[in-house]
A and B are shown apart, each in its own frame.
Chain A
Amino acid sequence: METLERIIAEHPFFHGLDDDFVALMVSCASNVRFQAGTYILKEGDPANTFYLIREGKVAVEVFAPQHKPIIVATLSVGEILGWSWLLPPFQWKFHARAVDDVRAIALDGKCLRAKCEENHDLGYEVLKRFVQIMEQRLEATRLQLLDVYAVKR
């Protein structure tokens, strides 16, 4: 059976992180499961967690009044869900719904925020990793906004 320590240490997101920092992460981590159709997080709720998805698919949705929710992206095995825990006001900006049964590792953002404040080297390592994800998702969103497959008349 895989231990949390091993899963976190081998996850690409934490690649190159010092053993001490991995141990800190593990102390903030727990295994979680979500049934298909359930909401993992909801817009406006306090954001105090992020997730490493181990199995299943998650839909990131935007709520639009008088419309069905709009899925802006899906995240799957190996990906990270949630960064609102990192920045004030620590509230989710989107809904995230389990499309399939989802297995994930939840990392306690509140606990990690405190550890990052205490240890800025850890804070820098965490920020570097999240900024990379933000950059990739920003680029994908820009391309999505271009609506490249639309008929140009």
Chain B
Amino acid sequence: MIMTTGTITDPMLPQPYTVRDVAKETPDTFTLRLEPKTAANPSSFQPGQFSMLWVFGVGELPISISGDPALQDRLVYTVRSVGQATHALVNRRVGEGVGVRGPFGTGWPAEAARGRDVIVVAGGIGLAPLRPLIYQVLQNRDDYGRLLILYGARSPRELLYRKELAAWARNRETQVLVTVDYGGLGWRGHVGVVTTLFKYARLQPAPAVAMVCGPEIMMRFVTRELENQGLSRDNIYLSMERNMKCAVGFCGHCQYGPHFICKDGPVFRYEQIRNLLEKYEL
């Protein structure tokens, strides 16, 4: 689904935004707050959607939106610096420009989840696309059942949003469990992969919807565990990632079996893509 707002109709035309803040999350991951240069392009989006961010002279990148959907005067992105374009993006200075196309793609089923428990399972930077959903659930607390957040990262210093994780855990009917694969002696939290957290989760599978984002192999293990816990495949959603270029389903770069990740995803119902997750060629 392509969201168009205001007078913007051409999804291929980047809109001018200005960097207003760059915050370091981990040694290689930064959160950028962008604001539109003109008041004519407010920044509404659905949790789970992504934008194409254009660093002029370097290239364009698909990046999930990680900010609060209720704040429509800005777009927030959490970016891991892993290559030339992401490096250039996270090194933008406050006041410099970035081109933004979108938002694009399907979002998390926030409306369908109303009245039900919400299980969020994130791995590594996979927490970024889930953060808008968490904001939405916490801002509309009475509309949802229990919120369970399971988050795994490589090491304590690679955990995103540490202060927010602690703050979220203080909300009523909210359980936040965090684990790392490698913990130093100073780490007093859990050590082990994210699936090991299910043992400590106060889970009620029947009325729950699960939303999962992280490396594909981690999502495969998580979906298996969610099914073991009694969730049906129809109530499990995954966010997928492939090399996206046009973001509107023209170029085919992000083809995933019969789907285009940019247009039919990135959020898919598990049942839609279950067979594709086990194909080596994809």
Instruction: Decide if B82 touches A151 in the complex (CB within 8 Å).
Output: yes
Instruction: Decide if A148 touches B123 in the complex (CB within 8 Å).
Output: yes
Given contacts A146-B217, A147-B181, A149-B124, contact A73 B199 (CB under 8 A): no
Instruction: Decide if A148 touches B215 in the complex (CB within 8 Å).
Output: yes
Given contacts A149-B124, A149-B154, A149-B158, contact A140 B182 (CB under 8 A): no
- The A contact surface, by secondary structure, is loop
Q: Name which residue of chain B comes closest to A78, CB basis.
A: B199
B192 / chain A contacts, CB cutoff of 8 Å: 73-74, 140, 144
A147 / chain B contacts, CB cutoff of 8 Å: 154, 181
Which of A16-24, A38-46, A64-72, A122-130 contacts the other chain? Answer: A64-72
Q: Name which residue of chain A comes closest to B124, CB basis.
A: A149
B interface residues, tally (CB under 8 Å) = 31
A interface residues, tally (CB under 8 Å) = 26
B136 within 8 A of partner (CB): no
Q: Name which residue of chain A comes closest to B215, CB basis.
A: A148
Instruction: Decide if A144 touches B154 in the complex (CB within 8 Å).
Output: no
What is the CA–CA distance of A143 and B217 in the complex, to the nearest angstrom? 8
Set B123, B182, B190, B215: member contacting A70, Cβ < 8 A: B182
Q: Name which residue of chain A comes closest to B217, CB basis.
A: A148
B217 / chain A contacts, CB cutoff of 8 Å: 143, 146, 148
What is the CA–CA distance of A76 and B179 in the complex, to the nearest angstrom? 12
Interface residues of B in 146-192 (CB under 8 A from A): 152-154, 158, 179, 181-185, 187-192
B188 / chain A contacts, CB cutoff of 8 Å: 57, 99-100
Q: Name which residue of chain A comes closest to B219, CB basis.
A: A148
What is the CA–CA distance of A112 and B179 in the complex, to the nearest angstrom? 33
What is the CA–CA distance of A150 and B218 in the complex, to the nearest angstrom? 12
Interface centre among A99, A100, A144, A148 (most CB of B within 10 A): A148
What is the CA–CA distance of A51 and B190 in the complex, to the nearest angstrom? 18
B193 within 8 A of partner (CB): yes
What is the CA–CA distance of A57 and B189 in the complex, to the nearest angstrom? 9
B196 within 8 A of partner (CB): yes
B80 within 8 A of partner (CB): yes
Instruction: Decide if B191 touches A59 in the complex (CB within 8 Å).
Output: yes
Binding site for A on B (CB under 8 A): 28, 80, 82, 123-124, 152-154, 158, 179, 181-185, 187-193, 195-196, 199-200, 214-215, 217-218, 221
Could you name 12 residue pairs across A and B whose Cβ atoms are closer than 8 Å?
A69-B185, A71-B187, A74-B183, A74-B189, A74-B190, A74-B192, A77-B200, A78-B199, A139-B221, A148-B124, A148-B218, A153-B82
Closest 5 A/B residue pairs (Cβ): A149-B124, A149-B154, A148-B215, A143-B193, A74-B191
